Amino acid sequence: MQDFQHEKARLFMTLRGLGVVEANVLSAMERVPRELFVPTALNQHAYENASLPIALEQTISQPYIVARMTAALELTGRERVLEIGSGSGYQAAILSFLCRRVYSIERLRPLLVEAENRFRKLRITNVTSKYGDGAKGWPEGAPFDRVILTCAPPEIPAILLNQLKTGGIMVAPEGRDREQSLVVIRRTEEGFERQELLPVRFVPLVEG
């Protein structure tokens, strides 16, 4: 089994250099072996600061983007988090060390099966995942303290916004193709406050 300590150390130096300073986020990322979440043929690239292809034309996000999105959720350890788009399971695995429970939805069954196998292998027990349409969210579990999307809708569906608690935070890419932004949405008593963080490129949110 390859030892990735050197590559890991270099990645975390890169992340700190890019302004990722949240100790809890870096610690959670350090505990999750990214090489388990990428195809075996790409193992040697697991700790590059780059997105990588996984099965079924999906991707595992760039570590910097994962770190920024995770930090933007402002987790304290007590939250219930809804994740739209399990993908490889990498983002959910990181969240599992930072919140009370993750509820993760994936519309591609083979990806979900692989992600669940990885959670078992890593003995992660606070991720509940299901096969379904992410655009509909998880109504029976709502409202959630936090919501994170790992795929980009043209605009955030109202049904997902309404599954966010008052006082809660949603982090999501939004927009089409090359015109996407990472947005942070806070639900207040009065409504929703939006802040754009940075331009991003994610696979689209596909309904159904």
Residues with a catalytic annotation lie at: 61
| H or E stretch covering 108 | none
Strand ranges (DSSP E) for 75-207? 80-84, 101-106, 127-131, 144-149, 164-176, 179-187, 192-200
Q: Tell me which amino acid residue 207 is.
A: E
Question: 83: which residues sit within 8 A by CB, 6+ positions away?
Answer: 91, 92, 95, 102, 103, 104, 105, 147, 148, 149, 150
Closest CA to 114 of 54, 160, 181, 156: 54
Long-range contacts of 162-166 (CB under 8 A, 24+ apart): 163/82, 163/137, 163/138, 163/139
Question: 204: which residues sit within 8 A by CB, 6+ positions away?
Answer: 151, 152, 153, 176
Locate 14 and state its tokens: 């890169």
| 153, 156, 159, 163 alpha-carbon torsion, rounded to 10° | 120
